[in-house]
């Protein structure tokens, strides 16, 4: 029936219903908290219980990923209420889906037995994802309860650092031999019944588990049953090694439109597989954490985190900016004599510094992107510098003249106008050179240029802008 | 054979070889350009031709996506050389893969016949992707050459704005009826032979093309051939409408780990399908364009774009920043009298303004993220403001005291120290309030809060910071 096909709107409706029920629930709790009348207790007993049972029903019809989403979007106290209502048999799936901060708040409400029960519902690669949040004794019990193969897998998954293919891969590999017929393969699959999620191909291995090729499901379907695997398997699959960088793997998934890919060790032995959903999660997480770290936030902060946690999360960035601002302030300090004589300098200097910072950050953004696309090499470094400096000079002449003219109009001092224009041009040139060089140097020294460049550029263009403007003014005007 | 399995390293090696050949090629061309000796002409004839034929061979062994990548990473003149060497029968695929800027440079070298030939290799949804770059007469010829069904599809694909499911979907749908047996389905698929890319399920429709359910390939494989489709099809598939937002669709793909999903119209009629590779491209492009627009760059700029194009691309942002900087400068102008008396104020004021900007941007980044996660509602706005203001006060007391103490040490003026501390606390509170309110307001008025918030916040914290610091100083010190 048509109406059985699930539409997204219906999900949003359910989420709204849940939020309404939660609001009602809190309302009742607040009432009871505020006034201790028997009538309120009655309301609590009747309405409250009905609310909770409605909530429970709604929640348990949802996909674990949707429950995870709801848990992310509500404050800590309400989160506890919802978490208690969720059926224990999806606890594990939800813990895998939520973010690290939310997982920690949820786990803090669970005892070891509950945690162990939740973790035992999971695949080895999923256990590895949440392992760092599990108490040591739970992880130990878990390892003891696993069979040898899975224990080995879990240990290997835990051994690969975040950001590698090894940390993203799972172990749901279906392998076949190359010398059997499709009929045999089909019989095998009918015995297995449920193929692992995202299975678009089977992995063909020899008796040492070395990969020989891959057999897309499509070929199984469109070929005659008597065909031998060897004759129809593909031998040009994209392979990954566990120690490959996850970013490279996600580029390959995008480039070749992959759904799954085998992961092999140095001896070509199949150790796991990478799926497009793990890759997509990785891309999203990378983009998220880059955005946060560009503003000096670590990803562990959640909107509902405590004030104290937020202060700690943000202080390092503010401290760094404080130091650079302090240095810029000392540059101004050197020229206090000039400012005392021509006080207009104080009002005009932040403009020169500010526009330099904006322009430098534009250049850096371009360079960071070009680095990611592999467009930057030493052979075109000169080309790049030439272009950025030219753009800076053009912008400097354009905006510098506008500003110089305004400065002249405001203060009636022609020379001040020229100083303004010249300082703008020079500071934009400085910002262009720094905007090219800083991300390249950071990249060269293995730092992520997207994250730290902005502070460095701003520090340079602030101090540099003040120095250029006040220095020129001292030479020309004083 | 093991060695037939393609590894990523081998691709990098090929790209290196190609770059070496291109460098050699340019070297020879440069030599010929500089000296008109017959010897050079000889070199040109022999080495040159061999270079080109080697290049051609290497290029034509590559996946179109890899050639696209190489084209992205090289300057415009070299790009032309490579483009001329590529076999015409992959021209279309490459044009779909490259970015808009690169596509325009490539197309500018092609005449109408070549463009038409390239476009005719493509699927309807791919033509729609590049249609905006095609000359009108090519598009008209193309439409005329299509059969009725495909012409309708192209027109419908072109009618959906960017950012909708309709603009992302393709038309490679394999449909079956619910009352047939798997044996019939298998016979049909064997006749089709090549299933569309990413096919993980067939779409079950009635005679009006209304969707009845989906049949995962997996179920075809593990079920007995005599089973009827109706009995094993899934009826809880996630469906999209062409006018749904692409962002919502990509969330659903991540959440439910989808590979493909049917797209239906208001009457439940199947109009196309969405695949995980289109969704992944969309996620990546969104992240890219957000990063660029945060720095005031439009995505059309490419590292090898002309200087003039770059100036135009960046000027609007600089103009906006210039205006806000000018306003801040006028705020300082009001207090020139105070600065003349206590010149230390000029050196200290940028610190107060700068830290306010940083702190405000941290708050905004948190709020933008919370908005994306659906964590912000009117019921928790007070909670949010309370938290951010508390964090600001703590940070203000901490860093304001440090700075106040330094100001006292530097200038030996105790009152100046107090003014510094008080101004820091007040400006951080202002930045927290603005950091919460500005993105919420932008969101309310349908603007992307990630893009414009930063300029607005900085404008507020600069002007506000100068006003608070200089105003307090005038009250206390003058």
ipTM of the complex: 0.84
Helix (H/G/I), strand (E/B), else coil: B5: coil
Contact B281 A254 (CB under 8 A): yes
Each domain of chain B, given as residue ranges in start order, spans: 8-164, 175-294, 307-477
With 0-12 CB in 10 A as exposed, 13-18 as middle and 19+ as buried, what is A218?
buried
| Interchain CB distance below 8 Å, B238 and A6 | yes
Contact B466, B332 (CB under 8 A): yes
The residues that bridge with B386 in the sheet, in sequence order, are none
Q: What is the pLDDT of residue B3?
A: 37
**Helix-helix angle A381-411:A414-444, to 10 degrees:** 150
Token reading at A159: 């051994």
Confidence band, pLDDT 50/70/90 cuts, at residue B402: very high
How high is the pLDDT of residue A120? 87
- The pairing of beta strand B270-275 with beta strand A270-275: unpaired
The pLDDT tens digits of the residues spanning B28-58 come to 666 666 655 555 565 556 777 787 888 888 8
Measure the CA angle with vertex B158, ends B157 and B161; round to 5°. 95
Strand partners, A201: A216
Q: At what angle do helices B76-85 and B64-72 cross, to 10 degrees?
A: 160
> What span, in angstroms and rounded, lies between the C-alpha atoms of B97 and B58?
19
Instruction: Identify the CATH homologous superfamily for domain B8-164.
Output: MgtE N-terminal domain-like (1.25.60.10)
Tell me the C-alpha distance between B475 and B478, whole Å: 6
List of chain A residues whose C-beta atoms are within 8 Å of the C-beta of residue B259: 198, 200, 259, 276
- Domain B175-294 in CATH 3.90.1150.10? The answer is no
**pLDDT of B120 above 70:** yes
| A307-477 to CATH, choices 3.30.1330.80, 3.30.300.30, 1.10.357.20, 1.10.287.3510 | 1.10.357.20
**pLDDT (tens digit per residue) in A362-412:** 999 989 888 887 778 766 788 889 999 999 999 999 999 999 999 999 999
Strand partners, B203: B175, B214
How many other C-beta atoms are found inside a 10 Å radius of the C-beta of residue A172? 17
For the beta carbon of residue A56, count every other beta carbon within 10 angstroms: 16
Residue contact A330–B347, C-beta within 8 A: yes
pLDDT for res A5: 45
Average pLDDT over residues A109-118: 89
Residues of A in contact with B365 (CB under 8 A): 291-292, 294-295, 297
* Cross-chain residue pair B336–A359, CB shorter than 8 Å: no
Interchain CB distance below 8 Å, B65 and A255: yes
A216 vs A329: CA distance, rounded Å: 65
Contacts of A339 in chain B (CB under 8 A): 339, 343, 346
Q: Which of B5, B186, B295 sits opposite A211 (nearest CB)?
A: B5
Taking the CA of residue B291 and the nearest CA in chain A, the distance in Å comes to: 8
- With CA atoms as reference, the chain A residue closest to B67 would be A255
Nearest CA in chain B to A390: B307
Q: How far is A117 from chain B (nearest CA, A)?
A: 24
Pairing mode, strands A175-176 and B270-275: unpaired
Query: Of residues A40 and B389, which shows the higher confidence score?
Result: B389
Residue B291 has pLDDT above 90, yes or no: no
pLDDT digits (tens, 9 = 90+) for A236-286: 888 999 999 998 899 889 888 899 999 999 999 999 999 999 999 999 888
Q: Which two tokens stand for residue A330?
A: 């000392």
Among the partner-chain residues B6, B256, B319, the one whose CB lies closest to the CB of A238 is B6
* Contact (Cβ atoms closer than 8 angstroms) between residue B189 and residue B178: no
For residue A46, the 8-state DSSP code is I
Q: Which residues of A touch B256 (CB under 8 A)?
A: 63, 65
Fold of the A175-277 domain: CBS-domain (3.10.580)
What is the rounded distance in angstroms from the CA atom of residue B389 to the CA atom of residue B386? 5
Q: Residue B212 is inside which H or E element, if any?
A: strand B211-216
Given B5, B7, B217, which is nearest A235 (Cβ)? B5
Q: In the structure, what pLDDT confidence band is assigned to residue A33 with cuts at 50, 70 and 90? A: low
Architecture of the domain defined by A7-163? Alpha Horseshoe (1.25)
Determine the Cα–Cα distance for residues B243 and B240; give it in Å rounded to an integer. 8
- CB distance B222–A333 less than 8 Å? no
Chain B residues with CB-CB distance to A254 below 8 A: 277, 280-281, 284
Kind and range of the H or E run holding A201: strand A201-205
Q: How much is the pTM?
A: 0.85
CB B75 within 8 A of CB B26: no
Most distant CA pair in chain B: distance in Å? 96
Same fold, A7-163 and A175-277: no
pLDDT value of residue A356:
95
- Counting Cα atoms < 13 Å in the Cβ hemisphere of A473 gives 32
Average pLDDT of the residues in B263-268? 92
| CA pair distance B459, B323, nearest whole angstrom | 9
Residues of A in contact with B425 (CB under 8 A): none
Q: How far is B47 from chain A (nearest CA, A)?
A: 22
> Is A394's CB within 8 Å of B314's CB?
no
- Asked if residue B4 has pLDDT above 50, the reply is no
Closest CA–CA distance from residue A207 to any residue of chain B (Å): 14
Which residues sit opposite A228 in a β-bridge? A181
- Asked whether the beta carbons of residue A192 and residue B222 sit closer than 8 angstroms, the reply is yes
What letter does residue A210 receive in the DSSP assignment? Answer: B
The separation between CA B47 and the C-alpha centre of its own chain, rounded to angstroms, equals 41
pLDDT band with cut points at 50, 70 and 90 for residue B202: very high
Distance from the A413 Cα atom to the nearest Cα atom in chain B, whole angstroms: 15
Query: Is the confidence at residue A303, as pLDDT, over 50?
Result: yes
């Amino acid at each position: 029936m048509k109406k059985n096909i699930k539409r997204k709107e219906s999900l949003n409706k359910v989420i709204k219903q849940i939020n309404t029920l939660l609001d009602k629930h809190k309302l009742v709790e607040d009432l009871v908290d505020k006034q201790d009348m028997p009538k309120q207790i009655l309301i609590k007993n009747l309405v409250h219980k009905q609310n909770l049972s409605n909530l429970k029903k709604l929640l348990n019809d949802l996909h674990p990923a949707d429950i995870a989403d709801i848990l992310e979007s509500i404050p800590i106290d309400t989160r506890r209420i919802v978490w208690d209502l969720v059926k224990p048999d999806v606890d594990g799936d939800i813990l895998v889906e939520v973010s690290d901060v939310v997982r920690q708040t949820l786990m803090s409400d669970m005892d070891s037995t509950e945690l162990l029960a939740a973790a035992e519902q999971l695949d080895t690669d999923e256990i590895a994802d949440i392992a760092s949040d599990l108490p040591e004794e739970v992880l130990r019990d878990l390892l003891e309860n696993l069979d040898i193969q899975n224990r080995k897998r879990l240990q290997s998954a835990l051994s690969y650092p975040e950001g590698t293919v090894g940390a993203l891969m799972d172990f749901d590999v279906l392998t076949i031999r190359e010398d059997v017929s499709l009929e045999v393969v089909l019989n095998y699959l009918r015995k297995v019944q449920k193929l692992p999620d995202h299975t678009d191909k089977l992995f063909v291995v020899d008796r040492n588990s070395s990969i020989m090729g891959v057999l897309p499901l499509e070929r199984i379907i469109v070929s005659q049953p008597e065909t031998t695997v060897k004759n129809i398997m593909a031998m040009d699959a994209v392979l990954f090694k566990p120690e490959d960088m996850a970013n490279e793997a996600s580029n390959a998934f995008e480039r070749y439109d992959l759904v799954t890919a085998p992961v092999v060790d140095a001896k070509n032995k199949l150790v796991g597989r990478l799926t497009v959903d793990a890759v997509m999660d990785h891309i999203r997480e990378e983009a998220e954490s880059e955005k946060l770290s560009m503003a000096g936030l670590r990803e562990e902060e959640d909107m509902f985190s405590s004030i104290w946690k937020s202060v700690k999360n943000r202080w390092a960035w503010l401290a760094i900016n404080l130091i650079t601002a302090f240095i810029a302030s000392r540059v101004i300090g050197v020229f206090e004599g000039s400012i005392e004589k021509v006080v207009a300098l104080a009002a005009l200097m932040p403009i020169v510094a500010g526009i330099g910072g904006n322009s430098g950050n534009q250049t850096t953004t371009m360079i960071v992107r070009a680095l990611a696309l592999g467009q930057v090499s030493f052979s075109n470094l000169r080309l790049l510098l030439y272009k950025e400096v030219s753009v800076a000079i053009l912008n400097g002449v354009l905006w510098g003249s506008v500003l110089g003219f305004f400065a002249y109009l405001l203060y009636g001092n022609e020379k001040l106008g020229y100083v303004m224009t010249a300082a703008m041009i020079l500071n934009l040139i400085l910002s262009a050179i720094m905007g090219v060089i800083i991300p390249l140097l950071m990249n060269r020294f293995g730092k992520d240029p997207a994250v730290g460049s902005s502070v460095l550029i701003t520090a340079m263009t602030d101090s540099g802008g003040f120095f250029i403007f006040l220095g020129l003014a001292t030479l020309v005007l004083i």
